[in-house]
Amino acid sequence: MLTIGLFPNIKKESVSSVLGWMVQYFKDRGVRVLLTENAAQKMGYPDLACSKEMMLKEITMGITLGGDGTLLNTAREIAAAGIPICGINMGQLGFLTEVELPDLSPALDKLICGEYEIEERVMLDAMILRKDTTIHVSTALNDVVISKSGVSRMIKLKLYVDDELTANYAADGLILATATGSTGYSLSAGGPIINPKLEVFVLTPICPHTLHAKSLVVSEKEEIKVRMVSNQDDAVLTIDGQAVYHLLPDDIVLVKSAPFRAQFIKCNGRSYYETLRSKLWRGEVDTNF
């Protein structure tokens, strides 16, 4: 039996009506629907409540209702279980989400009938090493960012690629992004746009205090190590712009490809470049130019 896990952003006011419509839509078609316990309680569907642990065992696919942030958060929770994910855009840009609200009904029909493709996306494993001890491990779909917290002076970092010293940075921070995340913070900091089919990472310094520091693209098979060399103790590690962890001098942030990949459901027929044009560049290409 097809079982769909719904992951709504319960902080969005408009989510309630869309969620109610989707729950009824799936029930009318004999599709089982589950919600996390917190979402079920907040949104008024106690009969659909399921623990996160059981959710990973029961659902066939996950559908998010929100923006890119909701999709990123959910992907980190379900990707390791090999569960495909589809995003319904209820945010502003929604670059990573697959379905816009006007297309919701036909898109759900495709999901029910299995008329979709799966696109795999590389994910990152990020570890904080302190005095040769791993004190934290996180998974990221978009990016891992080392930056100063609050108002402070620049931080100093040593970058190693496969244990080889590659660069010394004096900057406001460093972004380590997947190809998926290349259109996020890394792009704003001057990094390149990378097609997510390419199995690479991009390292982009934030406001470097030198003219020659540029983005660096490396293979996903390479291991990235960043050592904190500043004396200050106000640097932080941010995962997908959501989870934040405090860093101390001499801490090492180790980043490598995760042993699993996020599985994005593709059903709208748009290519990556069409998405760039329609959502990111917000302009039509003049074919007569």
One-letter-per-residue 3-state SS of 99-116: EEHHHHHHHHHHHHHCCC
The pairing of beta strand 155-161 with beta strand 164-171: antiparallel
Query: 19, 77 in Cβ contact below 8 A?
Result: no
Alpha-carbon distance of 47 to 45, in angstroms, equals 5
What's phi and psi for 33, nearest 5 deg? -125, 135
Please report, in angstroms and rounded to a whole number, the separation of the first and last CA atoms in the chain. 52
Q: Which residues contact 281 (CB under 8 A, 6 or more apart)?
A: none
So which residues are the catalytic ones?
A: 68
Distances (CA, A) of 132 to 2, 141, 257: 46, 26, 20
Q: What residues form DSSP beta bridges with 165? A: 160
- Give Cα 140 distance to the centre of its chain: 6
